[in-house]
Chain A
């Protein structure tokens, strides 16, 4: 592994350790008085009639799908952007062709009403 990623590794390790250590300490200091009522959604009041996890339409999901496509597109553009000076005019044209094809797709999906809310 490239050495300059070591700090990130340490950071991730710390992030994992933090909740584990905190919870372990808390388990040790807190009083333990388990009761069934504590696990119900409301300690007082009516029992829930149905499960809170219901199906509901997420209209936004088509935008999410399209986001992934254009996310990948950006990923392809990034290597060009950082090597722009070497690739020159030819690289620019390649990038424009790549982009042009996707812009046709974008115009099409816009006209198709895929970005409309309802």
Chain B
């Protein structure tokens, strides 16, 4: 008998995977974008089940909120008519599916055989503390234990700013007169 948590997990996981398949098979890019939202939402749900509340919230705010807006903008920018006429997949997709299935079976069996190794009884107290005040704990870990990667992340964002501006903007004022 499955517990409520297990039922919820499988429901979210199945919906996430099915919508992900829909994302790449729909002809209309707007439909793809909507299915992508569903996938991202379900993943947020799975994060919640793992007690990663902050991550779940970020997933909804950044991905479902910010990045999806971008996707829709891009869809408006490209020519939908020609896009829907074009072939969706290139000639390699038969091989790609074959390889993916082989890989899936392989990973599946290996993880199934080694699932005993993934149980972490030693970390149970950690799980209990994580259950309460996830965001607060994250704040402390991020600003103390992982302060260096945190500061490097701001350089990553700086690079993202530069990249966005120089790739998306036709004329830049620093091109000079």
Chain A interfacial positions (CB closer than 8 Å to B): 1-2, 5, 9, 51, 53, 55-58, 60-62, 64-69, 71-73, 75-76, 78-83, 86-87, 91, 94-95, 97-99, 101-102, 104-106, 108-109, 111-114
Contacts and interface: CB of A to CB of B under 8 A. Distances in A.
Contact of B66 (A5, A71, A91): A71
Q: Is the interface of A mostly helix, strand, loop or mixed?
A: helix
Interface of B: 5, 8, 48-49, 51, 53-54, 58, 61-62, 65-67, 69-70, 73-74, 76-81, 131, 135-136, 138-140, 142-144, 147, 150-151, 153-155, 157-158, 160-162, 164-165, 168-169, 171-174
A66 B73 CA distance: 13
B66 A113 contact: no
A80 B169 contact: no
Given A82-B135, A113-B173, 5 more contacts: A64-B70, A69-B161, A75-B58, A76-B153, A108-B162
A2 B81 contact: no
Contacts of A1: 5, 8, 48-49
B168 A105 contact: no
A111 B140 contact: no
A105 B77 contact: no
A1 B8 CA distance: 9
12 contacts: A61-B73, A61-B74, A62-B168, A76-B142, A79-B138, A87-B140, A101-B158, A102-B154, A102-B158, A102-B161, A104-B158, A113-B171
A71 B164 contact: no
Most buried by A among B8, B80, B157: B157
Given A79-B143, A98-B154, A60 B161 contact: no
A113 B172 contact: yes
Contact of A56 (B69, B76, B139, B151): B76
Contacts of A72: 62, 157
